[in-house]
Amino acid sequence: MKTFVTDFDGTLTAYDFFDLVRERWPSPPGEDPWDQYVAGEITHFEALARIFRRIRTTEAVLLDLAGSMQLDPEVSAAERSLRDRGWSVVVASAGCDWYIRRLLGETGTTMEIHANPGEFREEEGLIMSLPQGSRFFSPETGVDKLAIVREAIRRSSEVAFAGDGRPDLEPALLMPAERRFARGWLAGELDRRQEGYRAFSRWSEIAPQLIAG
């Protein structure tokens, strides 16, 4: 069995959900949770949780916003081709399963999903919770991507990883360069460290490379 572990926001999609939310419901000057996270003042999970709690809208509008993340339209065909060649796809996200499961549910894919649980309430925003019962629990990100990749390495003949953000760095570094796929911040950081990787612009570009070996 071969396992492809992939981030969701900014990897399977063109845009991160939290960035779209920050743009639509900005924080007061000097109080941006993402800036506080980057400065090391709060955890990644707390930053996203605070950003999502600022949402004030209807579920229909929020679903439209999630749709504007631009999920790769070829995701279903790419996953099917990988599955036909013995690859299973595992989504490992530090984001919220509220929008991830809705977007992927429309594609008919069979990906295993690990993401932080969430519940939307119009007067309280998107309330994201820590996955306390998960075997991949992390107080820093909620979902521990590094633990997911390590388990995949133990149980699989081959493992690949794709990501774009800060929580993706450690799991990416467990991969050999030919099975490490990066874009965005992750690609820039790997360049800075002089670590090899395969660049991609759309998630579906990865499948033929894994299939080719």
Q: Over the stretch 67-90, which tens digit does the pLDDT of each residue have?
A: 999 999 999 999 999 999 999 999
Could you tell me if residue 21 is inside a domain? no
Q: Is residue 204 part of a domain?
A: yes
Return the CA Rg of the chain: 17
Average pLDDT over residues 54-75: 98
Over residues 38-60, the mean pLDDT reads 98
27 in a structural domain: no
**For the chain, what is the domain count?**
1
Q: Residue 112 CB: number of other CB atoms within 10 A? A: 12
The pLDDT, as a whole number, for residue 73 is 97
Q: Which of 86, 139, 138, 143 is nearest to 114 (CA)?
A: 143
Is 23 a member of any domain? Answer: no
| Separation CA 143–CA 125 (nearest Å) | 21
- Give me the domain span that covers residue 79: 2-16+68-212
Residue 41 lies in a domain: no
Provide the percentage of residues in the chain whose pLDDT is more than 70: 100
Tell me the three-class secondary structure of the chain, residue by residue.
Answer: CEEEEECCCCCCECCCHHHHHHHHCCCCCCCCHHHHHHCCCCCHHHHHHHHHHCCCCCHHHHHHHHHCCCECCCHHHHHHHHHHCCEEEEEEEEEEHHHHHHHHHCCCCCCEEEEECEEEECCCEEEECCCCCCCCEECCCEECHHHHHHHHHHHCCEEEEEECCHHHHHHHHCCCHHHEEECHHHHHHHHHHCCCCEECCCHHHHHHHHHHC
pTM of the model: 0.96
Instruction: Give the tens place of pLDDT for each residue, 150-182.
Output: 999 999 999 999 999 999 999 999 999 999 999
Identify whether 49 is part of a domain: no
CATH number for the domain that contains residue 116: 3.40.50.1000
- The answer to whether residue 47 sits within a structural domain is no
Residue 44 lies in a domain: no
- Tens digit of pLDDT for each residue in 142-154? 999 999 999 999 9
pLDDT of residue 205: 98
